Structure 1
Amino acid sequence: MENKYWIGIDFGGTNIRVGLFKEDKLIHENKFLTEADRGPDYIIENIKKNIQIIKGVHDIEGIGIGMPGPIDPNKGVVLSPVNLPGWDSIPLTDILTKYFEVPCYIENDCNVAALAESLEGAGKGLNIVFYITVSTGVGGGLCINGEIVSGASGSAGEIANIIVSDKPVKHSFLNPGSLEGMASGTSIIKLAKKEGLNVNHAHEVFRLADENNKAAKEIIDSVMDHLARGMAAIAHVIDPNIFILGGGVSNSVANFAPNMKERFEQYIYPTMRGKIQVKASQLSEPGMLGAMYLVKQKVKNINSKEVL
């Protein structure tokens, strides 16, 4: 597997990044607008074009893609992500595999971020890694022994819908009182505007809380508490070595991870306290890297089975 070239793609609702890797090193990258409103056919053709440009004369071994869910990673099918209109049961991996004649795999964007952090970031060297992104929404990804755990239907790590509050707060299509509805950047802004705060970004509410604004302090206290409850629920099922906190909200707030650790430990068994690390993510752009590792692992596993 030495001196091989791989494609890793971070497929977001706003931007798409296509990276060419030689083994584990990124050697070239293209970034372009997703233009989600133009539909799957246009976007897929744009992805093909950018892969072709970025790979140049190099033969690639495979393509890995991290993207918003819901998806079926086992079948390689995209299942109607909220921020990708028209993507209804699109067989993305089959399309790209047939076009480039190499294996292609897709995974939830949080899962590939978790994989990158597990192998090269804050979770390196640890067996059980749970990654949480706190951004516009809330998402999660689980890696055990350096590999993604997708679950039977590809829904493992979909923590946004966990119920953490009995308040009838409805967010999107999720349960009332869901983790995303109570602790995401979107929910922080909604709560702030309801209280009359003149803010446009979640980190501004944290800043106002630090300045002893009463309404902001109450909002942030509630958000941190609900996130801690969600982490505790996950910890009692998985018992990870580490929680890694990433995403736009957590990355923009000083001491977010240590503050969350203190909160979270209030809700777990005393025997677990001090044994689960809570750290900030270390990688600035884990999407492409994780997607590259995804396809490398899949191809390696297939080749190992063929040898047997």
Structure 2
Amino acid sequence: MSMNGTYIGIDFGGTNIRAARVTNGVMVENHNAPTPLNPKSCEETLNALVNVAASVMDDSVEGIGVGVPSVVDREKGIVYNVANIPYWDEVPLKDILQERFSVPVYINNDANCFAIAERYFGEGQSFENFVGITLGTGLGGGIIQKGHLLADANCGSGEFGHVPYLDHDIEYYCSGSFFMHEYGVTGKEMYQRALSQDKIALEAYRKLGSHLSVAIKIIILTVDPEMIVFGGSVATAYPLFEEKMIEGLRDFRFPRSVEKLKIRYSNLKHAGVLGAVSLCY
């Protein structure tokens, strides 16, 4: 893939807004700001996003890519029901940004952006068919087939976290939310406790691994990828859950699929903005 040109990538989340200017595949400037807490309107958050983008903008920029935690009408650039951001139920973000900055704008789901970042910059460079899974506060996913994001209808493929499971869904048991729901502590606190060999914390990660094996089985049965790459804050703790996750795959109906499946963990810094930039290529 040619990475010639200068583009801006924006990673728009419920906690932070990050933006970077990338020239010929190399990040040359980046900036971030907190997403407004308890905003009184959509405009308040939108202004914060525009200001972060403007901070890395210059005359060489040829396009802007944006990753958002929601489903997206990619053709029209409308984002719907953005997670953890009030008043963003239906926002024509593409038109707003194109009018403000006078360059083409491309918008996609943030987990899709993670997957495409891995394809161009990370663990997916040598795989044509794989799934990128973000393990953070929630669980999101993006599907790469034949080297490109899956061409789905509503930008909803790969959202394995919302598959019903036990008395909730996969995300409830396979993300940082699991620690909060079941133990009343954040993922960061649970990780620190596990590093101190706290027995409850170590067992919590083993349970997380067992639940993740179910998520992997669902992924194999729906997509059957060559590789799954995990990213996000919880994924960095994989030595604490990997053994139970692999153990949980031993009873899978198609053992050859498990044997051939590669499991990787992301080493990418700034995966969100790099994936958003990749939407422009």
Give 1:264 shift: 3.0
Q: Does 1:42 align with 2:44?
A: yes
**Residue ranges of structure 1 left out of the alignment (5+ in a row):** 169-175, 297-308
Q: Does 1:185 align with 2:171?
A: no
2:251 corresponds to: 266
Q: TM-score if structure 2 supplies the norm length?
A: 0.89
Give 1:273 shift: 2.7
Q: Distance in 2 between matches of 1:140 and 1:102?
A: 28
Over aligned residue pairs, what C-alpha RMSD do you find? Answer: 2.4
1:148 corresponds to: 149
2:56 corresponds to: 54
The AA in structure 2 aligned to 1:290 is G
Please state whether the residue corresponding to 2:177 is helix, strand or coil: helix
After superposition, residues 127-146 of structure 1 pair within 5 angstroms as 127-146=128-147
1:202 corresponds to: 190
Is the Cα–Cα contact under 8 Å of residues 7 and 63 in structure 2 kept in the other structure?
yes
Give the number of the structure whose alpha-carbon radius of gyration is greater. 1
1:222 corresponds to: 207
Q: Distance in 1 between matches of 2:13 and 2:252?
A: 34
Q: Distance in 1 between matches of 2:3 and 2:238?
A: 40
After superposition, residues 89-168 of structure 1 pair within 5 angstroms as 89-149=90-150, 151-165=152-166, 168=167
Give 1:161 shift: 1.2
Please state whether the residue corresponding to 1:74 is helix, strand or coil: coil
Q: Distance in 2 between matches of 1:205 and 1:129?
A: 33
Which string of whole-angstrom CA distances, capped at 9 and with x for unpartnered residues, describes residues 113-170 of structure 1?
11111222112110111011221111111112332125211101111111232xx3xx
The AA in structure 2 aligned to 1:201 is E
The AA in structure 2 aligned to 1:153 is N
Give 1:70 shift: 3.3
Which string of whole-angstrom CA distances, capped at 9 and with x for unpartnered residues, describes residues 22-44 of structure 1?
12111011111111532321232
1:300 corresponds to: none
Please state whether the residue corresponding to 2:125 is helix, strand or coil: coil
Of all paired residues, the percent bearing the same amino acid is 29
Q: Does 1:74 align with 2:59?
A: no
C-alpha spacing 1:199/1:240, structure 2 compared with 1 (3 Å): closer
Bigger mean CA deviation after superposition, 259-268 or 283-292: 259-268
Bigger mean CA deviation after superposition, 46-55 or 256-265: 256-265
Q: Distance in 2 between matches of 1:2 and 1:238?
A: 28
Q: How many residue pairs get matched?
A: 279
Q: Distance in 2 between matches of 1:154 and 1:188?
A: 28
After superposition, residues 267-282 of structure 1 pair within 5 angstroms as 267-282=252-267
The AA in structure 2 aligned to 1:231 is I
**Residue ranges of structure 2 left out of the alignment (5+ in a row):** none
1:304 corresponds to: none
Is the Cα–Cα contact under 8 Å of residues 115 and 275 in structure 2 kept in the other structure?
yes
2:221 corresponds to: 236
Q: Distance in 1 between matches of 2:91 and 2:122?
A: 32
Give 1:231 shift: 1.0
1:5 corresponds to: 6
Is the Cα–Cα contact under 8 Å of residues 164 and 229 in structure 1 kept in the other structure?
no
The AA in structure 2 aligned to 1:293 is S
Give 1:249 shift: 1.1
The AA in structure 2 aligned to 1:139 is G
Q: Distance in 2 between matches of 1:242 and 1:190?
A: 30
C-alpha spacing 1:198/1:155, structure 2 compared with 1 (3 Å): closer
Please state whether the residue corresponding to 1:155 is helix, strand or coil: coil
